Every structure is written in structure tokens, then in C-alpha cells.
Amino acid sequence: MRILITTGVYPPAIGGPAQYAKNLKEEWERTDHKVKVKTFRLEHSLPSGVRHFYFFLKILPAVLWSEFIFALDTFSVGWPATSAAKIFGKKIIIRTGGDFLWEGYVERSRDKVLLRDFYKTIRETWSWKERLIFKITKWTLHHVSAVIFSTKWQRDIWSLPYGLERVKVFFVENYYGPKEESFKPTDKEFIASTRPLVWKNLNVLKEVGVKIHLENSPYEEFMGKLAHTYAVILVSLGDISPNLILDAIRYNKPFIITEENGLMDRIGGIALTVNPKDVEDIKNKILWFSDEENYMTQVEKVKNFNFTHSWGEIAREIIEIWKKV
């Protein structure tokens, strides 16, 4: 089969969609599919709208060539890819990833609204641009062959506002890799998110005085840092299927995670959760975590977590969904 992957980022750029696209390409090619990847390049410097139209034009030859389009977001590449797919009668499946509208709203307004509350409480404060993004996203979701979520948590948040009862919805869990070699930490330094965005809520870590490491290095280099770190901390206002936590598990690193996440059905037994809006809760959990006995208890829990979900399995599951739609 001829498959087109569209993604806003691709290695050497970092980020979950970049790794997802790269690994899917490799897995599909390993099973004799032909794969092309189209990603943003010049588009990063173009204004919204112009960026989408340029990307739409750029992917047309690959859309005509393809039998199946796989898009790694709902707006940036998802909208132009879906438009092209409709024009030329191609099957397209979107994997939702994050929530572009909510992330953009929080960055613009500095309003620390939780993702699970976003569509229920503050729609009247959206800008005209945010209202337009919502309408375009809803149109896109209703004109694809299928939508893939990595968690039911995000599906439930989106279900009512986006009218998902009329959309073919499937679930494919994120990548849970095999265990990697890890090393004893030299100090009690946490690794936090690599992106200093408002919704990542990093300012509360500064308030509690925790020593954190932020780095925007290539994926392999960052994994080297992770292998030597003390622990991982994630206190964001909403994280659907955070790769940082899944990477921490691979390296047997214990972690503190926001309770506003979509992974609890899978990792609830090994997670130490915090309320991202409660500074005292975060501070108390860090203090608890700093106790050697408590820390080693969490290390053992993570070491004993052995669930895996390989890129090969993910690639096959997506093809099976393609066959159904």
C-alpha cells in the first residue's frame, strides 16, 4: 500500500509527533508498504491560513499517489490533508495527539484552565480566531474516515463539543517500549517538560524550589540525560498521553505526574499524582518523594511495570483500522 504521513514536525525536530511519524514510517516500510512523509518546513514561518494553503498545495502530488493518508494532528496538517483527501476521494485517518485549541488559548490568555474544563466553562472568552479553529477542527473530525485517540480520557473531553457520536472513533495506545539501561543518579535533580509553555505549569516548580532540568536537545541525547536523572516531574494542566512519562518508565525512573492525564487506566498503580493547581500538594509530594525509602518504593514499582506496546503493534493496529473504514 502507498501511505502518506502528514506531520507538523519530523526528526531532527523533537516532539511526540516527530517520533510517531518516524517510527511508523520505518515499521510500514519494513512490511513492504511504500511511505512518504510531508512535514512543515517553510510553513513554520508563514501566518496561519497561508501556512495551511501552502501545505495543501505542497501535498497534492503525494495525496494523488497515496492510497491512505495518516495525519498526526487535527488542525495544522489535519485540516489541509483532510481537504485534499475529500477532493480526491482518499481514505484519511487522523490521530488526535494533543489539543491545539486549548494549548493556544492558554498561551494567549495566560488563563490556567484545566483541559477537562476548557470546553465546559470558558467558551464565551474565546477569540474570533479560536472560534474559527474550533469550527475547522470540528469540520475536519467529521470529514475523515476515522479518528484515533490514544486515551479514552481525551475522547470523553471532546465527545460533546465536537459531536463525536457521528464520527468513527478508535483507540490506539501510545508507545510503551522495552526497558532500557538506566544509571544511579548523582543528585536529586528532576527532569521536567522540555517546553516552557503556560499549560506545562512549570512556574509552580519554581515556587516550590525543586531542582529541575529543562533541555531542548535531540531525542537520543535527551534520553541519555533521562537515563541518569533522579526522577521525572510533570505538573501540566492537562497531558493526554505524555511521552516524557512513558520514557521515564522505560528507564525505570520514578515520576510525579499531574492528575489531569489520560494514562491512569494503564499506569495508576505506579503513579504519584498531584493537583496541578495546588502548590502545597506539589510541595508535599516532592518532600515525600525525597525520602529515600519512599523513593526506592516508587523505583521498584516502576521496575515491575512490564507492559509494552511496540511500534510494530501500533503500525498493524492502524492498518487494521484502515481496513475497517
In the chain, where the domains are located:
2-175+310-324, 190-303
Residue 303: C-alpha distances to residues 178, 216, 235, 309 (Å): 11, 27, 22, 16
Region at 127 (left for phi over 0; alpha for psi -120 to 50; beta for the rest): beta
Query: Residue 240 has what pLDDT?
Result: 96
Structure letter (DSSP) for residue 289: H
Give the SS3 label for residue 7: strand
Give the SS3 label for residue 261: strand
Query: Residue 296 has what pLDDT?
Result: 96
Question: Domain 2-175+310-324 in CATH: superfamily?
Answer: Glycogen Phosphorylase B; (3.40.50.2000)
Chain centroid to CA 103: 12
How far is residue 321's CA from residue 319's CA, in Å, rounded to a whole number? Answer: 5
How far is residue 147's CA from residue 200's CA, in Å, rounded to a whole number? Answer: 25
Pairing mode of beta strands 68-71, 91-95: parallel
Domain covering 190-303 in this structure, CATH number: 3.40.50.2000
Query: Residue 268 has what pLDDT?
Result: 96
Return the C-alpha cell found at 118: 476548557
How far is residue 306's CA from residue 46's CA, in Å, rounded to a whole number? Answer: 44
Reported as half-sphere exposure (CB side, CA atoms, 13 A), residue 273 has a value of: 16
Query: Residue 192 has what pLDDT?
Result: 84
Cα three-residue angle 323-146-99, rounded to 5 degrees: 145
Where do we find the cell 484502515?
A: 322
DSSP 121-168: H-GGG--HHHHHHHHHHHHHHTSSSEEEES-HHHHHHHHTTTTGGGS-
Cut 0.75: pTM above it: yes
Cα three-residue angle 227-239-138, rounded to 5 degrees: 140
Chain centroid to CA 220: 18
Query: Residue 215 has what pLDDT?
Result: 57
pLDDT in tens, the chain (325 residues): 999 999 999 998 888 899 999 999 999 999 999 999 999 999 999 999 999 999 999 999 999 999 999 999 999 999 999 999 999 999 999 999 899 999 999 999 999 999 999 999 888 999 999 999 999 999 999 999 999 999 999 999 999 999 999 999 999 999 999 999 999 888 888 888 767 899 999 888 888 877 666 656 777 788 888 898 999 999 999 999 999 999 999 999 999 999 999 999 999 999 999 999 999 999 999 999 989 999 999 999 999 999 999 999 999 999 999 999 9
Query: Residue 13 has what pLDDT?
Result: 83
Residue 235: C-alpha distances to residues 130, 157, 275, 315 (Å): 25, 19, 8, 30
